[in-house]
Amino acid sequence: MPYYELLCIAAHYPQYQHIQGLVRSSAKQILDRGGVVREIKSNGTKVLPQRMRSHQTNHDIGDYWIMRFDASPKSMVLLTDALRQDPRVIRWTTIKLGEKLRDIVGSRSETTDQA
């Protein structure tokens, strides 16, 4: 399974439960299809660099978060469809970090020995 990184900007709500629900549903979609979620990281609430329009709503503030996971390409299509339809999502992008373990970890010569 390829290793992916999902970068997402979610609509900012005063209640934390909206972003929590979005992250949980995204992770659950990966886990339900046999994927592995390696890391979920919040980058906090930030003022957007420009006004962004999504689902007929203008947004000036967004909640940034990152999820790193292993998933099949078919799971990625379903996750993308779900994010496209979710009104809590302003923008997202998925980056493929690697296909095989050696792509992700790197070769032995790149690592340092600290003994």
- Report whether pLDDT(115) > 90: no
Give residue-wise pLDDT tens across range 6-62: 999 999 988 889 999 999 999 999 999 999 999 999 999 999 999 999 888 899 999
Going by CATH, does the domain composed of 3-99 fall within 3.30.70.60?
Answer: yes
pTM of the model: 0.81
Of 64, 74, 108, 63, the residue nearest 4 (C-alpha) = 74
Residue boundaries of the structural domains of the chain: 3-99
- Report whether pLDDT(90) > 90: yes
Distance between CA atoms of residues 94 and 61, nearest Å: 21
